[in-house]
Amino acid sequence: MMGLSSFFLFASLSSAPTVGPDSTVFLETTVVTANRTEQRLENTTVSVDVLPLRVLEEKANARVEQVIQMAPGVTLQDGQANIRSGSGWSLGAGSRVLILVDELPALSPDAGGVLWNAMPMEAVQQIEVLKGASSSLYGSSALNGVIHLRTWEPSTEQRVRVSTMMEVYDRPKIRSLGWWDAPRARSAVRFAFSDSYGAKNQHGLVLHGQLFGDQGYQYLVGDQSARLHAKYRFKPNSKLEMGLQGQVWRSDRSSALIWEDFRLGYTPLDSSATQTQSDLAALTGHLKYRQGRQLHTLRVRGMGYANASGLDSNDYSNAGQSLHAEYLWQYFMEQGWNLSAGALFIGSAMNSPLFSGAHTSQNQALFAQVDKSADRWDLSVGLRWESFAVDGSSDAQPVLRLGGHYQVREGTHLRASWAQGYRFPSIAERFSASAAGALQVFPSPGIQSESGWTAELGIRQGVKKEGTRAGLQGYLDAAFFWTEFNQMLEFTFGKWGNLPGTTLSNYGFTSLNVGPTRITGLELTGGVRSYIGPVKVEGMLGYTYALPIALDPAGVYATDADGQALSYESTSLDPSQNLLKYRYVHNAKADIQASWKGWTLGSSLRYNSFMANIDAIFTDPLIAIFVPGVADSRYQLNQGDLFLDFRLNKRLTERFVLQAGVINSLNRLASPRPALLAEPRTVSLQLSYALN
C-alpha cells in the first residue's frame, strides 16, 4: 500500500535473560517488559508470555513472524500483529501492538507498522509478549499490548551462530492458483557473533546480519534484502556503561493488495504489484550510570530512510529523518520499593506524494511508576502524560495503570490489573493516498485519537517435581480480560470517491472512528517438560476466546461519497452477533517436541476460527465485478484456519545441526483478510553452526 509501510530500527541496553537454551519457560524465568526492570515471570501483575527458545532456534523459520504467531492469543494479518482480537485489519496503517527490540520501539513514525524481515531473528535471545493496555509505560502504540524482542548482549566467552536455510513453496491444492512452472523458494544466510575483550571484559561487541531472498508465491511479489547490525559496549567500571549501535538495511521488494480472483488468488489484481526499494541507516547511543541505588539511563537514536516506490504511473516514494531521545531514572529503594520515572521526545520529518506532501510530527511524554514488593505481594502504580502534534494538530492525554500480584502458596500466583490506553492516529491513517490498480486508499485527516482501558484477573499454577530422571516442570495459567475502546479506529472498505461514472477508483479503504467497542474473553495457557524414559518431552499450549463487539451498532459514524449514513449494522456482512470486523473469536496454539540421542522431533498447531464479519461491500454485486471471488472464498473456507507443522532435527556434531521442516503440512488454504490468500505448504532445510 505504501512506499514505506514501516521501518525497523532498534537499540539495546538490557540485561541478558536467565533462560537456558533448552528452557520451556516455566520457573525462575525473568522478564523486563512488564515493569521495565527484571522480575520473575510469575510475579508480574499482567499477563506476559515468553516464547520457548526451541520455537525460534529448532524450527527452520524464514521470518521472525513465523515465531511470533506461535504466541497464545497473537495473530498476524497482512503483517500486523494483533493480541486477543484487539485489532482487526488496518493494512499497515497504524498498530495497537507496540513492537520493541531491546526496549526501544521498532514502529515507523509514518505508518506505525513494522517490517518483519528486518527483525534481528538470528540474534534474538528471548521474546516476551505483554497483553493488555501498556500505554503508561510505553506510549501510544501499546494500546493493545507489547511484543518485545530481546537480543544478544556481549558475552564473556566468544559466541557464534551461523545458519543457512532454504524453503520451497509447494503446489497449492487448487490447480489454477499455481501459476509458476519452476519451483519457487526463499532462502536466508544469517550470522551472529558476540564476545568481550580487555581487562575485566570492559569492551563488548555483537555483530549480526542476514542476506534474504524470497521469490514469492504471488505473481510478481518477492523480496530481496540485506542488513547488518553492530553493537559496541564499554564498561570502564561497575558504575558506568556506554555504547553505540548501528544498523544498515537495504530491501528491494514488491507487494500486492488485492487478488485477481479467488481462483487466481496468487495473482494480483491486473497482474500488477507495487515495487519498493528501501534504504535505511540508524545510529544509537546509550549511557547508563549507577549511583548507589539509583540508575540513570539515556538513549538517543537518529535515523534516516529513503524509499523509491511506485505502481504503474503512481509515485509513492518517500524519505524522512527521525530523532528519538529517552531518559529513564530508577531508584531501587530498601524494603522492596522501586521508583521509575522518565521523559521521551520523538521528532520526525518526512516528504512523500503518498502522504500528499511534507509532514512533521512530535511526540513528548513524561512517565512515572512505583513498584512495591513484599514477601507475597507485588503492587504497581504507573502514570504517563503523552502529547502528539502533526502539522500543528495536537492532542494530549494522561493514562493510568494499576496492578497487583499475590502468591497464595508455593507455585500459586494471583494477579489483577487495570490500565488505560491511548493511541494517536498515524500519519498514514490520516494522509495516505495510494492505489492497487484501480482500487484506492483514501486519506482521512479528520480522524480522532482512540482511547480505552483493559482489566484482567489471572491465576498461574506452577508444578515442579525433582529428584528423579522423570522430573517434571510445568504450569497452567488462566486469565479473564475485559477491554473497552472509545472512538476505535477501523480500516473500512467503501465508496469514498465521487468521480463520474461507474469506476472502481471511487472505492477503496480509509480509516474511520467507529465508536465504542468492547472485547471480553478468557485465555488458557500451559506448558510441561518431563522425561519418558530417555526421551525428553517439552510442550506448550494456548487457547484464547475473545468476544469483540460493537456497543453502538446503530450509531452513525460517517457518510460515504453518495451521502449514505454508515454504521456498524449498515456496513457489516454479518451484524447478527455485533462481532467486530476482521476478528477471530477462537484462537489456539500448541507445540510439542521430543528429544533423544541427538534427534529431535516436533510439531506445532495453529488454529483460528472463521472470520465471521467483514465489510459487506466486498460481496456487493457491483464490487464483485472488480474484486471477484470474496464470497466464493468465504463459502469454501468457512471452517476456520488450521495449520499443522512438523520438524525433524539431527545433531550431526557438537556444533552442527541439520533441520528439516514442513509448514502447513496439510496444504490448507486460508484467507487472512478479503481478497488475499495465505501461502501454501512449504518444505524447508537448514544447516546451523553454534559455538557456546
Confidence at residue 99, expressed as pLDDT on a 0 to 100 scale: 87
66 contacts 663 by C-beta, under 8 angstroms: yes
Per-residue pLDDT at 89 exceeds 80: no
Can you read off the three cell numbers belonging to residue 426? 498515524
Per-residue pLDDT at 115 exceeds 90: no
Q: What angle do CA 149, 151, 156 make, to 5 degrees?
A: 155
Per-residue pLDDT at 615 exceeds 70: yes
Q: Of 18-27, 38-47, 558-567, where does mean pLDDT reach its minimum?
A: 18-27
Q: Which residues contact 149 (CB under 8 A, 6 or more apart)?
A: 10, 64, 99, 100, 101, 102, 106, 119, 120, 124, 126, 127
212 contacts 118 by C-beta, under 8 angstroms: no
16 within some domain = no
- Distances, alpha carbon 628 to alpha carbons 263, 509, 631, in Å: 9, 17, 8
**What domain count does the chain have?**
1
| CA dist., res. 616 & res. 608, Å (int) | 21
Q: Which of 353, 348, 376, 378 is nearest to 364 (CA)?
A: 348
Rounded average pLDDT over 563-582: 93
599 within some domain = yes
- The confidence band for 317, taking pLDDT boundaries of 50, 70 and 90, is confident
E strand or H helix that includes residue 599: strand 599-608
14 within some domain = no
17 within some domain = no
Top-confidence residue, 399 or 314: 399
DSSP letter, residue 25: S
4 within some domain = no
Reduce the secondary structure of 190-235 to three states and give it as a string: EEEEEEEECHHHCEEEEEEEEEEEECCCCCCCCEEEEEEEEEEEEC
19 within some domain = no
253 within some domain = yes
Give me the percent of the chain exceeding a pLDDT of 70. 92
617 contacts 676 by C-beta, under 8 angstroms: no
CATH code, 659? 2.40.170.20
Confidence at residue 3, expressed as pLDDT on a 0 to 100 scale: 35
Residues in the chain: 692
Boundaries of domain holding 238: 30-691
5 within some domain = no
